[in-house]
Structure 1
Amino acid sequence: MANLITIARMIIAFIAICLLFYQTPASYLTAFFLTVIAIWFDGLDGFVARLLNESSKFGAVLDILGDRVVENIYWIVFAVLGWIPVWVPLIVVTRGILTDGVRSIALEQGYTAFGSTTMMKTKIGHFLVASNFSRGSYAVTKALAFALMILCNFPFASMNLFLQGSDPELSANAISAWTNFHNICIGICPFAHFCVYAAVIFCVLRGLPVLIESRRFFVEDKKEETENPKDENNNEA
């Protein structure tokens, strides 16, 4: 069940992102609420896994892949739409490729990204990467950035034209409510952009310990490579 929730989260995120290209109030509102659902599913899959005792290495890997897919499509599309600088997705995608590559090597040796078998051994590395505080703070920052950026770039112009052409009495009330909503969205824009840059900082800070502590896996690989030829020579003798 937990893995199905993770897969559903990715599908919902794809639908939400596609709706942003329609540039209509209805599509943006739908995209916003779907994004909220996708964010909720991010915590729900882990809760269900623990509740139903479905925790596994495959589930842990799938959860990371789900996070990676969701965050990448949001950052990339936001950059395509001109909402954020292009260097934001470049940093996030590059960091994801590097850390996931290292984690795949660690997984071969029985280590996971989080949990009791985490690959993080130092206290600072465990705190930045595997602690509930760090993971939760990063998740909340990304969630706020994704949801609020959609509201900040809401297509108000098209809705204003629609209201101006409607019934005068209805239009006056609707425009008043719409103006209040518009002011709220404009007011949260600075905070939304702050969340974007804070998420990038979190992304880098949580990625560096993974790369630094991964050196021991490559050292172990070199030791195995140097020991194997000796074993082969002994067998031939």
Structure 2
Amino acid sequence: MANLITVLRTLLAFLAVAMLRWHTWEIYVGAAVLTVLLIWMDAWDGWVARRRNEASKAGAVFDILGDRVVEMTYWIAFASFGWIPVWVAVLVSARGILVDGFRALAFERGLTAFGATSMMRSRLGALLVSSRLSRGAYGVGKAAAFTLIILAFAPGWQPSLKTTLAVLAYGCVYATVILCVVRGLPVLLEARRFLAPERAG
């Protein structure tokens, strides 16, 4: 069930971005509401997995892959529309690929991104990467950034309101990008130990 929710929210992300091709206020607001819903579903699928005793290492990896597809869909689409700088989409995508690559090495050793078998050893790393506070803040940041960017470019707003929405949107975008990088650095630093055997060999 949890994996089905992950698949569903990924498909909803594709739908929300596709809706932005129709330049009407109602469609844009609908896409913004859909965006909030599918970001919320990221927390819901974890709750369902725990409730139904479906939590597993493979499920956790599938959840992270779903997260990555969703966020890259939005960042790349926004960059292609000219709504955000291209470097934002490139940076977030590169960070995701690097972090997930090192997490794959950790997974081979029986470690996971979060939970009791987390690959993070240091308290600071665990706080920044795998704590509920950090994950929740990043989820809220993405929801705010994606939603406000969509609303800022929705047609029909008064100029003053459109300006206010744009200021809030770009503030959330850059804050979320900073948080994305800050959460990724500890993973890269702590994962260096997984490369030691390859260097020795």
Q: 194, 200, 212: which is aligned to 2:177?
A: 200
The share of aligned pairs that are identical, in percent, is: 54
Q: What's the counterpart of residue 117 of structure 1?
A: 117
Query: How far apart, CA to CA, are the structure 2 residues paired with 1:133 and 1:29?
Result: 28
Count of residue pairs the alignment pairs up: 201
Q: What's the counterpart of residue 33 of structure 2?
A: 33
Q: Deviations over 1:132-178 (max 9, x none)?
A: 1111111111110011111111022xxxxxxxxxxxxxxxxxxxxx7
Structure 2: which amino acid aligns with 1:190?
Answer: V
Which 4+ runs in 1 deviate beyond 4 A?
A: 182-185
Residues 85-104 of structure 1: pairs in structure 2 closer than 5 A: 85-104=85-104
Query: How far apart, CA to CA, are the structure 1 residues paired with 2:192 and 2:150?
Result: 40
Q: What's the counterpart of residue 21 of structure 1?
A: 21
Q: What's the counterpart of residue 61 of structure 1?
A: 61
* 1:16 CA displacement: 0.3
Q: Deviations over 1:102-134 (max 9, x none)?
A: 010110000000010000001111111111111
**Alignment gaps of 5+ in structure 1:** 157-177, 226-237
Give the alignment's TM-score, normalised by structure 1: 0.81
Structure 1: which amino acid aligns with 2:53?
Answer: N
**Alignment gaps of 5+ in structure 2:** none
Query: How far apart, CA to CA, are the structure 2 residues paired with 1:213 and 1:134?
Result: 17
* 1:87 CA displacement: 0.5
* 1:189 CA displacement: 2.3
Query: How far apart, CA to CA, are the structure 2 residues paired with 1:88 and 1:99?
Result: 16
Q: What's the counterpart of residue 211 of structure 1?
A: 188
**Is residue 2:173 matched to residue 1:190?**
no
For the aligned residues, what is the CA RMSD? 1.5
SS across alignment from 2:70: helix
**Is residue 2:29 matched to residue 1:52?**
no
* 1:81 CA displacement: 1.0
Tell which deviates more after alignment, 182-191 or 113-122: 182-191
Query: How far apart, CA to CA, are the structure 1 residues paired with 2:80 and 2:174?
Result: 17
Q: What's the counterpart of residue 170 of structure 1?
A: none
**Which structure has the bigger radius of gyration?**
1
Query: How far apart, CA to CA, are the structure 2 residues paired with 1:206 and 1:219?
Result: 23
